[in-house]
Amino acid sequence: MSRLEQRFADLKAEGRAALVTFVTAGDPGYEASLAILKGLPEAGADVIELGMPFTDPMADGVAIQLATLRALEAGQNLAKTLQMVREFRTGNQTTPIVLMGYYNPIHRFGVERFVADAKDAGVDGLIIVDLPPEHDEELATPAQAAGIDFIRLTTPTTDDARLPRVLQRSSGFVYYVSVAGVTGAGSATHEHVEQAIARLRRHTELPISVGFGIRTPEQAAAIARLADGVVVGSALVDKIAQAKDAGQAVDDVLSLCSALAKGVRNARA
């Protein structure tokens, strides 16, 4: 059983949803980003999505675009992102880490080298937003052969004809993007999310995590009553942008993570 499968199985036994947190690797700098990464599990994150900075993050809103720019300006690259995971694993062997981003940096790095290095570093899953299932042979197939889960995005516009194709080779969990648009967009209604999750459950037995537009403990709790996982990204990234220095960025991200975790944990109490 992979770390992702184990984590979702454990949380299902506990009767609660997972808090899935997103931060961009290298934002606001390597050391502060590593401190955030290492602190997230203790602050209540159950699964961590770690963004791989890329110069053209077309699916992301302003907050994560700016985070990517800060990381790149600080010298972050794919090799350093994998090194962050290695350093994280020296103290944590249980929290799943999912790398999220775009195919271009992986293609330039070399797929075979990337898959081997990611597995060796302790990466558990990949979310590659610009690689549809028609291109599985590019990365999904070799990644899964190495034991790395390949997590698919589904959206409100993924209809019943398309959904089976998207989910066919998915593993780890399904990430439901609850609103059409870029990251940081407005949140969906409770009724919409409830209906979307019911539809997804007819097509897959994988855990379903819901993201986009979740910013507060109250919003996180509302989604946690419906889904297997609650994804929060832009709200955490905004704390870094608003901080006066790297130390405050670390503290503020972890403080918000703790508040979100309490919301998720109390949702079904």
Question: How far apart are alpha carbons 105 and 24 in whole angstroms?
Answer: 15
Burial zone of 77 (CB within 10 Å; 0-12 exposed, 13-18 middle, 19+ buried): middle
What sign results for the dihedral spanned by CA atoms 66, 69, 71, 77?
positive
Please list, in sequence order, all residues whose beta carbon lies within 8 angstroms of the beta carbon of residue 27, skipping any fewer than 6 positions away. Answer: 33, 53, 67, 68, 70, 71, 74, 76, 237, 240
Instruction: Please give the structure tokens belonging to residue 67.
Output: 């985070």
What is the C-alpha separation between 24 and 69, in angstroms, rounded? 10
49 flagged as catalytic: yes
Catalytic one of 27, 46, 60, 149: 60
Burial class, 89, CB count within 10 angstroms (exposed 0-12 / middle 13-18 / buried 19+)? middle
Q: In what order do the strands lie in the sheet with 229-232?
A: 149-150, 125-128, 97-101, 47-51, 18-24, 229-232, 208-211, 174-177, 153-154
CA distances from 267 to 15, 66, 217, 229 (A): 10, 32, 10, 12
60 is catalytic: yes
Catalytic residue among 27, 46, 49, 117: 49
CA distance 225 to 220: 9
Asked, as a colleague might, if the bond just before 28 is cis with ω within 30 of 0, I would say yes
Side-chain half-sphere of 238: how many Cα atoms within 13 Å? 14
Active site residues: 49, 60
